[in-house]
Amino acid sequence: MESSNTLFLDHYFPSDVLKITEVIETDDKIIIHMKSISHTCVCPRCHQRLEHYHGTYIRKVQDLPILGKNVQLRIKAHEYICDNEGCPVRTGAETFNGFLNANRRMTQRCEDFICMLAIETSCEGCARICQAMNLYISGDSVIRFLTERYEAQPPPVCGETIGIDDFAFKKRSRYGTVIVDEATHKPVAVLNGRDSNTLKAWLRQNKQVRRITRDRASAYASAIEEILPDAMQIADRFHLHQNLLEAVQNALKSVVPADIKIPIDQGCSDNQQPTENTPKEGVKKK
């Protein structure tokens, strides 16, 4: 049996909703023309299935490079009308089973690769690496991808025991508050500011908290006392040692005077034996 050297591109795309019609290759680019063969789509807002056909348009999409060449998809896609009167979207575009999201210029797998690379390097470093791979993107677009994915995550749920501490976004200029779940040792919230009002708003939405480890900041103590009066407030290890040290110092100061005079024994001073540097009687120093 002869082995085939042909690369079947259909295997790398959702063939049940997309069909390749033409492939054009140049020195630095591969352009793949495709058309949609689906008859329905899902509204990106209300998530209802749309079947009311509206029209056809060409979507220009970037995919992962092939053999170092930039890959451009030219998809002849369908657009459907959303019949839901309560939905702000009037028309919806096809997403092709998660292969390409609505209003995106890159495929989902291409965005996944960029986000993974940005997390391991940096946004600007990721953009430079992608440019070298003939994948065109800017550092601002990488930041937007990461921000959108962060905002799309469900809010983290914390347990009954948390730790609170402040940190500096910019020293002596801007501060924040980090809240960590003591059971998982993972941050569950990062608040802008370190005042009591910021913490109060978060505590109102997390009334399940029963034990809070914090520093000695009075703003945190007053916020917890007001919103969760039954919660146990625990001083962390560093501040517990600091409290103990201050208590010992205060106890010593109350017993031991600040100035201690050590009396000199005159008898010992008169009978002091001469040292090597002191000349003895009857011996003349040369």
- Which of 201, 254, 199 minimizes the C-alpha distance to 222? 199
pLDDT of residue 1: 41
Separation CA 101–CA 111 (nearest Å)? 10
Rounded to a whole number of angstroms, the distance between the first and last alpha carbons of the chain is: 115
Average pLDDT rounded to a whole number, residues 41-64: 85
Average pLDDT rounded to a whole number, residues 187-200: 88
Q: Is the separation of the CB atoms in 82 and 91 below 8 Å?
A: yes
Q: Which tokens sit at 159?
A: 């347990």
Using a cut of 0.85, tell me whether the model's pTM lies above it: no
Q: What angle (nearest 5°) sits at the alpha carbon of residue 65, between those of residues 60 and 68? A: 135
Average pLDDT, the chain: 85
Average pLDDT rounded to a whole number, residues 249-276: 71
Separation CA 239–CA 245 (nearest Å)? 10
Least confident of 84-98, 110-124, 161-175: 84-98
pLDDT at residue 99 is higher than 50: yes
pLDDT of residue 268: 59
Average pLDDT rounded to a whole number, residues 224-252: 87
DSSP state of 43: -
Q: Strand ranges (DSSP E) for the chain?
A: 18-25, 29-36, 41-42, 49-50, 52-66, 69-81, 91-93, 161-170, 174-181, 186-192, 211-214, 232-235
